[in-house]
């Protein structure tokens, strides 16, 4: 028999698919002596293991066969109703029939891109923006229009100018309004309706990605962009990954325009038929008791806030004056710029040797044109270890900064 010799004749698009820098880095940092600010992991010790297990037991007693059988593509009705109820609490007019359950928000990004993007289309996004989203979009070969952002999120004047000048117009604007990944910045309340109005005027729909909106340290969550939008102008992505646990892979899209929703459901049919009804029912059986969920969220918020405080205190103690950082009032990340002409990809190489890692900022910029930033995760480890890690990082910075 003849041998079929690779390389195969693969699709052109796969040449653009690069393994995620972050996930490749996670492999490197399996070494327990290395302190990693590089991941985006929720605190595993807070996972409600016993309560999820008890929820599973209730599901299997009450509806075991339904949990294990094939199911509908858009998601089990009980969970879709819960999602709609939770958003209605924030004053957003959402119905269960607007919701699609996905395998993590990453699948929501993929499905939305699938439905909107042809090669050469344009996606507008914040600068910097979330690497995982860029990776999802890259599979469909778009170009990017990076819009200036500041400490209060995307800049409305910059957005107006960019959309006005854009030819072709972007197919959509991708935004993380709350505790953005990677910067930790939040879109100011007064900018929200403005951003929605600018996009509507230019006929550009918005993909609002909100994984961290419930992880607030100092205030009630702000209403999502979805609450400012006319029908179909905003598609909203929410997830149970940071509220409860990422391992269940339970997330949701809210698509109030039903013609668009039908397209996305059809795309999901082709992609994986449907998400697991088993995990959907288990997640629902855990969250349906609102007081239990709220008590859990209070613990998560207090813990992450203490860890943020530990990180900012350590930064203040350990870093030379040319290093700057923000103090996010929620989420899992802060953003530091090192100054002194230091490239954080170079810093990374030194930091690994000192036993600490982070994510260098360059890959988060679609044009890869800024190398002075770094994303630091504060959710995944206790304060003492955060302090030790920042001390190591301080040594690496001072080594390079002279």
Q: Please give the residues from 228 up to 257 whose contact with a second copy meets the rule CB under 8 A.
A: 228-233, 241, 245-249, 257
Burial of 222 (0-12, 13-18, 19+ CB in 10 A): middle
Q: State yes or no: residue 273 binds a second copy (CB under 8 A).
A: yes
> Least separation, in Å, of the C-beta of 360 and a second copy?
19
Q: State yes or no: residue 163 binds a second copy (CB under 8 A).
A: no
Candidate residues 34, 96, 166, 267; the one interacting with a second copy per rule CB under 8 A: 267
Q: State yes or no: residue 49 binds a second copy (CB under 8 A).
A: yes
Site for a second copy in 57-96 (CB under 8 A): 57, 60-61, 64-71, 73
Of the listed pieces 82-90, 265-273, 310-318, 327-335, which binds a second copy according to CB under 8 A? 265-273
> Least separation, in Å, of the C-beta of 223 and a second copy?
15
Q: State yes or no: residue 31 binds a second copy (CB under 8 A).
A: no
Q: State yes or no: residue 36 binds a second copy (CB under 8 A).
A: no
Of the listed pieces 39-47, 304-312, 328-336, 387-395, which binds a second copy according to CB under 8 A? 39-47
Residue with smaller CB distance to a second copy, 104 or 361: 104
Phi/psi-derived region of residue 249, left when phi > 0, alpha when psi is between -120 and 50, beta in every other case = left
- With a CB cutoff of 8 Å and minimum separation 6, the contacts of 247 are none
User: How is residue 228 written in tokens?
Assistant: 């400012």
Candidate residues 98, 110, 160, 210; the one interacting with a second copy per rule CB under 8 A: 110
Return the SS3 of 270: helix
Spatial contact of 226 and 94, defined as CB atoms under 8 Å apart:
yes
Q: State yes or no: residue 377 binds a second copy (CB under 8 A).
A: no
Per-position DSSP letters for 316-346, written without gaps between them: HHHS-TT-EE---SBSSEEEEE--TT--HHH
Distance of alpha carbon 168 from alpha carbon 165, whole angstroms: 9
> Least separation, in Å, of the C-beta of 20 and a second copy?
5
Distance of alpha carbon 262 from alpha carbon 283, whole angstroms: 24
Query: CA gyration radius for the chain?
Result: 21
Of the listed pieces 91-99, 112-120, 331-339, 363-371, which binds a second copy according to CB under 8 A? 112-120
Nearest to 225 by CA among 212, 209, 241: 209
> Least separation, in Å, of the C-beta of 137 and a second copy?
8
Candidate residues 18, 88, 353, 368; the one interacting with a second copy per rule CB under 8 A: 18
Spatial contact of 235 and 201, defined as CB atoms under 8 Å apart:
no
Of the listed pieces 91-99, 276-284, 310-318, 391-399, which binds a second copy according to CB under 8 A? 276-284
Q: State yes or no: residue 1 binds a second copy (CB under 8 A).
A: yes
Residue with smaller CB distance to a second copy, 141 or 343: 141
Distance of alpha carbon 399 from alpha carbon 402, whole angstroms: 6
Burial of 46 (0-12, 13-18, 19+ CB in 10 A): middle
Candidate residues 92, 136, 163, 342; the one interacting with a second copy per rule CB under 8 A: 136
Site for a second copy in 325-354 (CB under 8 A): none
Residue with smaller CB distance to a second copy, 34 or 260: 260
Q: Cα 112 to the chain's mean position, in Å?
A: 15
Q: State yes or no: residue 181 binds a second copy (CB under 8 A).
A: no
């Amino acid at each position: 028999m003849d041998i079929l010799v690779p390389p195969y004749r693969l699709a052109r698009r796969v040449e653009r698919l690069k393994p995620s820098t972050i996930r490749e880095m996670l492999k490197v940092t399996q070494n327990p002596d290395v302190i990693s600010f590089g991941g985006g992991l929720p605190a595993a010790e807070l996972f409600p293991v016993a309560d999820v297990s008890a929820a599973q037991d209730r599901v299997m007693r009450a509806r075991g066969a339904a949990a294990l059988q094939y199911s509908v593509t858009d998601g089990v009705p009980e969970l879709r109703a819960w999602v709609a109820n939770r958003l209605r609490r924030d004053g957003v007019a959402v119905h269960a029939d607007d919701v699609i359950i996905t395998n993590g928000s990453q699948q929501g990004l993929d499905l939305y891109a699938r439905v909107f993007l042809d090669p050469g289309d344009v996606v507008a996004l914040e600068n910097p923006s979330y690497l995982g989203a860029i990776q999802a979009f890259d599979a469909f070969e778009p170009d990017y229009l990076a819009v200036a952002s500041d400490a209060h999120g995307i800049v409305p004047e910059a957005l107006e100018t960019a959309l006005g000048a854009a030819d072709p117009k972007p197919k959509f604007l991708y935004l993380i309004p709350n505790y953005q990944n990677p910067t930790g910045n939040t879109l100011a309340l007064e900018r929200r309706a403005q951003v929605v109005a600018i996009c509507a005027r230019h006929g550009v729909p918005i993909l609002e990605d909100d994984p961290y909106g419930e992880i607030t340290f100092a205030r009630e969550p702000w209403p999502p962009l979805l609450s400012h939008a006319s029908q179909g102008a905003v598609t909203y992505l929410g997830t149970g990954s940071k509220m409860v646990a990422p391992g269940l892979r339970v997330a949701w899209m809210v698509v109030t325009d039903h013609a668009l929703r039908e397209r996305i459901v059809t795309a999901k049919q082709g992609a994986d038929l449907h998400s697991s009804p088993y995990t959907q029912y288990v997640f629902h059986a855990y969250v349906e008791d609102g007081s239990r969920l709220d008590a859990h969220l209070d613990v998560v918020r207090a813990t992450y806030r203490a860890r943020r405080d530990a990180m900012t205190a350590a930064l203040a103690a350990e870093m030379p004056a040319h290093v700057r950082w923000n103090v996010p009032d929620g989420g899992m990340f802060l953003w530091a710029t090192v100054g002194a002409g230091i490239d954080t990809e170079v810093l990374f190489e030194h930091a690994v040797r000192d036993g600490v890692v982070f994510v260098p900022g360059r890959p988060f910029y679609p044009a890869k044109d800024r190398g002075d930033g770094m994303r630091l995760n504060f959710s995944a480890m206790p304060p003492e270890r955060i302090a030790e890690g920042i001390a190591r990082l301080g040594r690496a910075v001072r080594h390079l900064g002279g």
